[in-house]
Amino acid sequence: MREMTHIAAWVVASGIVAELLGYLLHRLLHSGRIRWLSASHMKHHMVLYGPLQKQRPSEHYMDATTDRFSIGNIGVEWLAPTAVLLVLAETIFWAFRVRLVHQAVFFATVLAWSFVMFSYLHDRMHVKNFWMERNPILKGWFRRGRQLHDIHHRMLNDGGLMDKNFGIGFFLFDRLFGTLSPEQSSFNHHGYAAARERFEYLETPRAR
């Protein structure tokens, strides 16, 4: 019983760690500071599902990793930092002699949570008629998360960065770090022009 309690605690803690790391990495990808890292993600934001475009144009997801190296639809911009963080975590576990069973729980939970939230659920927020929007238990949560994600795609600051709502299904760290925006503000045309200039290496549609 005690061991099961420990494992349950590791699962919960690992899920929180995965959510935090996903939030921080998402912010990094939007900063544009590491161009090669941001390229695929900003193609998703500026070309395929840009601020001026429909966020759910069809029942099929348009993948920004097409013609780029990826595992499934998870691109290098997520894979490379994740690999570094996992190696760092293993180094810490080795230094503190964390039991192998707890390490296994951590890595399994982090990878599963990250895939479900930042790949599976994220992509379904951009397709029509996803089953969660009809599920009586999940539809309220899913629709609210999708609304916040739409705001994430459409709100730009004057520097041309999308700096709100980095969470996908949960927005705890947006609340903690002050990046939560529950409502859509008026469209920032100046910010969009700045974004097109900042990400000029992408073919971005012009404001009308």
Q: What is the pLDDT of residue 202?
A: 80
pLDDT tens digits, 90-99: 999 999 999 9
d(CA 42, CA 28): 11
Which tens digit of pLDDT belongs to each residue from 3-30? 899 999 999 999 999 999 999 999 999 9
The answer to whether the CB of 161 falls within 8 A of the CB of 31 is yes
Q: Are 17 and 27 in contact (CB under 8 A)?
A: no
pLDDT for residue 206:
56
pLDDT at 65: 80
pLDDT value at residue 204: 59
Residues of the chain falling short of pLDDT 70: 70, 203-208
d(CA 27, CA 96): 30
Q: What pLDDT does 164 receive?
A: 98
**The model's pTM:** 0.92
Q: What is the pLDDT of residue 207?
A: 52
